[in-house]
Structure 1
Amino acid sequence: MIKNINDLIRSDLHRIALDIIVKGIERADPYKAIHNTVKVSGNRIYIDNVEIYLDKSRIHVIGFGKASRRMAEAIVNIIGEYIYGGIIISPEYSGVIGSLRILKGDHPIPSENTVNSSKQLINYIEKNVREDDIVIVLISGGGSALFEIPEDGVDIEDIASISKELMRRGADIFELNTVRKRLSKVKGGKLLRYLKASKIISLIISDVVGDRLDIIASGPTAPDKTTAMEAIEILKKYNLWDDLPQGIKNVFYRAYNNPNSDTVKEGDPILDRVINIIIASNIDSLRYMAQIAKDYGFNPMILTSMLEGEAREVGKVLASIIKSIYLYEIPLKRPVAILAGGETTVTVKGNGIGGRNQELCLSLAYNLRNISYREYVAICIGSDGIDGTSPAAGALIDGYIHDEYRSMNIDPLDYLNNNDSYTFFSKLRRSIITGYTGTNVNDFFLALLR
């Protein structure tokens, strides 16, 4: 999985840390997650606690997200002979898997590939799905960008521009998707309005802190807990509202003034046909990683699976925990494995190349610069393999990094202030390169202290 692993393994401690991280990401493998959830026995399919009789209904499979292709491979492997057809939208692959067509979408910013593929998916639904049919929906992180049909009066360029600006200004995924739901005909439960099927089962890999169904891929099959007014307030918070064209503002006003044109809310009868099941998540991987660390002889502690905040500030907090363990062996005695998961944000002020995981790791290194303790390794990594604008998934630091950058006469604070974490770590050959991993369950932090 890690393409440059030989650059990164500099001791046995490095090898252990990387092994824990790789196994944590593999735990969320979409193929395995589907196989753990979907079973066939006789003439019945069991999906979690749902029982489907194979002789009564046609089964369609649709999906979108970074992990959707691997999910589709698994579902076809298990029940392919019973699938009537369907369409999957993926960022990196086109073709067919069994009776499923795989179409390409755009990520992280949607454009025409996304719209064209999404229209084909909706067209398939409208032409083929009957009231007595069953639809399995495969949803994973990245679905917000990969599956999109703009609301009337909105162009895909508008959605792309607003999304890009919100991300650049530090909006988190909750804020971003609250806005995107109002600009879309398929988000916030609106996909259900196209589906006539008697039963809809969504199998979901969560990339959202707290696993909120209405935020994962903007909740296409889930009741929406957000409001149009919240979306307007978010746009005002990030100083975007005043500059929006009046036509775009009217879309938000329309959703605010007419609930029927807004997202699907709890209690809507349309939800009676839907079952949403989370099949992989950040906390599940963290628990698995903690057990592996324990097997290696470390005392594991999961701090949280809901790590949020500005990446450079979170780096300071994690540095303070490492310092406390080093000086006082609080909250745990060494050898210790500190684990956390979630998704931080970066407010971009510089013009460098980086991402939230590398920025967090750079902040961590900078804030540990004055301690003499050497026997630690820390990793910050995105489970999807892509961190921000860089080709890296994350980065690795240890107690010897300070000698390295000082010998090269480079200042980590300069790179931190320029949001140029990838350049910093690539110079030190400490960037972690994986390419797309095929899954997405947020980010992971691991620190091992001998």
Structure 2
Amino acid sequence: MADPRTLLADMFAAAVNAAQPEHCVPRFLPPPPKGRTLVIGAGKASAAMAQALEQHWPGDLSGLVVTRYGYAVPCERIEIVEAAHPVPDAAGQAAAGRLLAFVRDLMADDLVICLISGGGSALLPLPGEGVTLEDKQAISRALLKSGATIAEMNCVRRHLSAIKGGRLAAACHPARVVNLLISDVPGDNPMDIASGPTVADSSTCADALAIIRRYDIALPDGARALLDSGRGETVKPGDTRLAGVSTHLIATPQMALEAAAEVARAAGVTPMILGDSIEGEARDVGKVHAGIAWQVRNHGQPIAPPCVLLSGGETTVTVRGGGRGGRNVEFLLSLAVALNGAPGVHAVAGDTDGVDGLEEIAGAFIGPDTLARAWAAGRPPHDSLDNNDGHGFFDALGDALITGPTRTNVNDFRAILIESA
């Protein structure tokens, strides 16, 4: 078997590569229309998706997509705009307004190809009636720290928006809309990917208010009035303006996990995919994964070593400390503490977009010696976990996983490699 860290890095790279737009966009492109072709989109992968589309589109087109700062790639006919993520900024607000204007006055013979991927919620922060950008920024920061799931956060975002929750698709009517989605959400529900700007939404303002109460989020007066009045309702299933919309999931977390599994098999390691939509507090998920790894190590159940346990999804972190954290390094630090130096157990966890939390760091690695090296370096593992300081912990050990912008996003990737005794 290859060096454990090298094998884990190869599996992570295969997961990211499987979701690269150059591989998954071309086969889903529709035939050219009688009328115009417009390309719109938002997300961390949207610029790379636009580039792949341009390279394979046989006719004329024009377009506008929004991506995260540092994620732009050269395009000739599609304009790429960069904005902030995960907390929105004025550049994103302006770009969202331009997108709505871009799709006005379309005809039935026109085609809109919409390129949507994770991160689009923050990149399209067009506030609803009575809501300001500052309101949306404050609510986003509070939700990110609250422990709310991505589905819960996006429900709130949809109902405070003037573009999400199907509103952008409704603005394209009567043109045909083809959605090409790269999923970064557990369950791959289109209305949760970038808060569903071009798909129908079955959730309600009442649902959004319940989430606000659940996590005790401070709500500015304008935002509360929008939700209380029902004026923030989204475009619902069955709306005739969405009759010409078709949606395709072109890359998903499951596809990424399967690509990593193939790398493991080629190395003589048996893969087991535990799930592609695992949620929960990152430190709790780490403890559960450690328990499964111990069962494999001690009893050869539910699979015998050498093997790798693979999982995806999106965990959450309820922030209580002041450290440099992210959900993947929080998971990994909790895992390391629970494994307590288990021999022959190595792991990697990282976000497939290359950014874990607010850091330009994808994630990190652990091995049997992680805790011993941490104590020797003056980094008590439990203290780092209590302070939500996963990035500080792994940086100090030289174990950070740094990829730079991957220009795709199929959520978190976790792999626990268990060697033969």
Fold shared, TM-score > 0.5 on shorter chain: yes
Check if 1:229 corresponds to 2:220. Answer: no
Write the distance in 2 (CA, Å) between the matches of 1:200 and 1:409.
Answer: 56
Alignment-mate amino acid for residue 145 of structure 2: R
Alignment-mate amino acid for residue 321 of structure 2: G
Q: SS at the partner of 2:126? A: coil
Write the distance in 2 (CA, Å) between the matches of 1:248 and 1:19.
Answer: 45
Does the 8 Å CA contact 1:61/1:83 hold for their aligned counterparts? no
Consecutive unaligned residues of structure 1, counting only runs of 5 or more, are 1-10, 39-46
Task: Give the CA deviation at 1:374.
Answer: 2.1
Check if 1:172 corresponds to 2:162. Answer: no
Task: Give the CA deviation at 1:90.
Answer: 1.4
Measured at CA, do residues 347 and 53 of structure 1 come closer, stay the same or move farther in structure 2, by a change above 3 Å? closer
Q: SS at the partner of 2:375? A: helix
Task: Give the CA deviation at 1:75.
Answer: 0.4
Task: Give the CA deviation at 1:53.
Answer: 4.8
Task: Give the CA deviation at 1:141.
Answer: 0.4
Match of 1:135 in 2: 112
Write the distance in 2 (CA, Å) between the matches of 1:294 and 1:364.
Answer: 24
Match of 2:40 in 1: 62
Does the 8 Å CA contact 1:383/1:393 hold for their aligned counterparts? yes
Write the distance in 1 (CA, Å) between the matches of 2:267 and 2:94.
Answer: 49
Match of 1:293 among 264, 274, 280: 264
Write the distance in 2 (CA, Å) between the matches of 1:95 and 1:327.
Answer: 48
TM superposition score normalised by structure 1: 0.90
Write the distance in 1 (CA, Å) between the matches of 2:395 and 2:95.
Answer: 36
Task: Give the CA deviation at 1:422.
Answer: 0.6
Write the distance in 2 (CA, Å) between the matches of 1:136 and 1:83.
Answer: 13
Alignment-mate amino acid for residue 298 of structure 1: V
1:42-191 alignment runs, 5 A limit: 47=30, 52-54=31-33, 56-79=34-57, 82-92=59-69, 97-126=75-104, 129-191=106-168
Check if 1:13 corresponds to 2:31. Answer: no
Check if 1:269 corresponds to 2:268. Answer: no
Q: Deviations over 1:77-136 (max 9, x none)?
A: 011x52331111111366962221111222111110001111122222226x33321110
Alignment-mate amino acid for residue 329 of structure 1: G
Q: SS at the partner of 2:61? A: strand
1:50-449 alignment runs, 5 A limit: 52-54=31-33, 56-79=34-57, 82-92=59-69, 97-126=75-104, 129-240=106-217, 243-255=218-230, 262-369=233-340, 373-449=342-418
Write the distance in 1 (CA, Å) between the matches of 2:291 and 2:128.
Answer: 47
- Of stretches 83-92 and 408-417 in structure 1, the one that deviates more from structure 2 is 83-92
Q: SS at the partner of 1:223? A: coil
Write the distance in 1 (CA, Å) between the matches of 2:143 and 2:370.
Answer: 33
Write the distance in 1 (CA, Å) between the matches of 2:32 and 2:142.
Answer: 47
Write the distance in 2 (CA, Å) between the matches of 1:169 and 1:25.
Answer: 28
Task: Give the CA deviation at 1:193.
Answer: 2.3
Write the distance in 2 (CA, Å) between the matches of 1:94 and 1:279.
Answer: 20
Alignment-mate amino acid for residue 281 of structure 2: E
Q: Spell out structure 1 runs of 4+ moving beyond 4 A.
A: 93-96
- Of stretches 354-363 and 27-36 in structure 1, the one that deviates more from structure 2 is 27-36
Does the 8 Å CA contact 1:58/1:82 hold for their aligned counterparts? no
Match of 2:20 in 1: 29
Task: Give the CA deviation at 1:430.
Answer: 0.4
Write the distance in 2 (CA, Å) between the matches of 1:245 and 1:158.
Answer: 6
Alignment-mate amino acid for residue 228 of structure 1: C
Write the distance in 2 (CA, Å) between the matches of 1:251 and 1:105.
Answer: 25
- Of stretches 12-21 and 96-105 in structure 1, the one that deviates more from structure 2 is 96-105
Task: Give the CA deviation at 1:348.
Answer: 0.3
Q: SS at the partner of 1:161? A: helix
Alignment-mate amino acid for residue 203 of structure 2: T
Task: Give the CA deviation at 1:17.
Answer: 1.4
Measured at CA, do residues 95 and 36 of structure 1 come closer, stay the same or move farther in structure 2, by a change above 3 Å? closer
Write the distance in 1 (CA, Å) between the matches of 2:225 and 2:296.
Answer: 54
Task: Give the CA deviation at 1:198.
Answer: 2.8
Write the distance in 1 (CA, Å) between the matches of 2:260 and 2:151.
Answer: 26
Task: Give the CA deviation at 1:403.
Answer: 2.2
Task: Give the CA deviation at 1:270.
Answer: 1.7
Task: Give the CA deviation at 1:154.
Answer: 0.6
Measured at CA, do residues 402 and 245 of structure 1 come closer, stay the same or move farther in structure 2, by a change above 3 Å? closer
Q: Deviations over 1:213-259 (max 9, x none)?
A: 1110001111112111110011011112xx4333221100222xx6x
Measured at CA, do residues 95 and 409 of structure 1 come closer, stay the same or move farther in structure 2, by a change above 3 Å? closer
Alignment-mate amino acid for residue 41 of structure 2: G
Measured at CA, do residues 326 and 98 of structure 1 come closer, stay the same or move farther in structure 2, by a change above 3 Å? same
Write the distance in 2 (CA, Å) between the matches of 1:407 and 1:66.
Answer: 38
Write the distance in 2 (CA, Å) between the matches of 1:408 and 1:145.
Answer: 37
Task: Give the CA deviation at 1:148.
Answer: 2.7
Alignment-mate amino acid for residue 126 of structure 1: R
Match of 1:42 in 2: none
Consecutive unaligned residues of structure 2, counting only runs of 5 or more, are none
Does the 8 Å CA contact 2:48/2:73 hold for their aligned counterparts? no
Write the distance in 2 (CA, Å) between the matches of 1:158 and 1:385.
Answer: 28
